């Protein structure tokens, strides 16, 4: 009897060709993430130098979230705190989180949509801090919490593409809960973190990547059903929502 795995008298049995799976990431290199990290580090160095020369942290004085000044018309303070930090430990942990989370998310979102996600999340976080926290605040964590929320939404909405989507979602939720719990034990602006989460969640849910498997000759291709124009519209809507909250409630 012939060995069925060694072929027949007509020749060897060739295995069937593997199907092609084509998935083109919107961004190959996370340039925006690297720019954000580099610019935050440069601003922090400016803070350190200014304090050493003058005794005052001038960038923080003119850029951190201070409610009285925002009410007086200095609205840029709802954006600029994302580039300011209060200590070496503060900027180190924020930049590490941005490096760890942001690179992959930027590749999935593409440069433009990722930039919108980051800015909208940071803005939403600073608005919630403005509404609910009287103390001044600064830091990129408002935007970073939005990235964490967006990663969770990406996994959930594309869960059929992941073998361990449930475990990945559980891990994301645990990270959020632990960080919020740690915020309760120190002088951390958890309201800003919650606002960033809300902003990132809304933008990701309605404007984040939604992949669909389509057949191509010889295999399959993953196609994003949402384009950057939708993300721009959703980003504008979320920004408007939180902007209206800031000016109507305060």
Active site residues: 141, 193
CB neighbours of 34 closer than 8 A, spacing ≥ 6? none
- Which long-range contacts does 33-36 make (Cβ < 8 Å, 24+ apart)? 33/98, 33/99, 33/102, 33/103, 33/106, 33/114, 36/98, 36/102, 36/118, 36/140
Q: What is the DSSP string of 126-158?
A: HHHHHHH--S-B--THHHHHHHHHHHHHHHHHT
Cα–Cα dist 240/67, whole Å: 19
Determine contact, residues 78/196, Cβ cutoff 8 Å. no
> Can you name the residues that pair with 20 across neighbouring β-strands?
219
H-run or E-run covering 31: helix 31-54
The CA radius of gyration of the chain, in Å to the nearest whole number, is 23
Contact 33, 99 (CB under 8 A): yes
- φ/ψ (deg, to 5) at 119: -70, -45
Dihedral in degrees, nearest 10, Cα atoms 106, 37, 118, 92: 110
């Amino acid at each position: 009897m012939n060995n069925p795995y060694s072929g027949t008298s007509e020749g060897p049995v060739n295995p069937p060709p593997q199907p092609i799976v084509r998935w083109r990431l919107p961004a190959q290199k996370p340039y925006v993430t690297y720019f954000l990290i580099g610019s935050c580090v440069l601003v922090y160095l400016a803070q350190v130098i200014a304090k050493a020369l003058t005794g005052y942290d001038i960038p923080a004085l003119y850029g951190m979230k201070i409610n009285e000044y925002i009410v007086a018309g200095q609205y840029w303070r709802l954006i600029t705190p994302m580039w300011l930090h209060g200590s070496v430990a503060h900027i180190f942990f924020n930049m590490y989180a941005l490096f760890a989370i942001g690179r992959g998310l930027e590749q999935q979102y593409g440069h433009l949509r990722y930039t919108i996600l980051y800015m909208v999340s940071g803005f939403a976080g600073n608005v919630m801090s403005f509404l609910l926290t009287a103390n001044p605040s600064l830091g990129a964590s408002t935007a970073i919490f939005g990235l964490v929320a967006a990663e969770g939404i990406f996994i959930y909405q594309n869960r059929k593409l992941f073998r361990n989507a449930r475990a990945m979602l559980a891990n994301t939720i645990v990270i959020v809960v632990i960080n919020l719990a740690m915020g309760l034990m120190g002088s951390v602006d958890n309201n800003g973190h919650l606002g960033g989460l809300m902003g990132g969640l809304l933008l990701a849910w309605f404007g984040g990547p939604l992949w669909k498997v389509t057949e191509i000759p010889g295999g399959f291709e993953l196609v994003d059903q949402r384009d950057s124009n939708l993300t721009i519209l959703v980003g504008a809507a979320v920004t408007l929502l939180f902007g209206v909250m800031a000016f109507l409630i305060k």
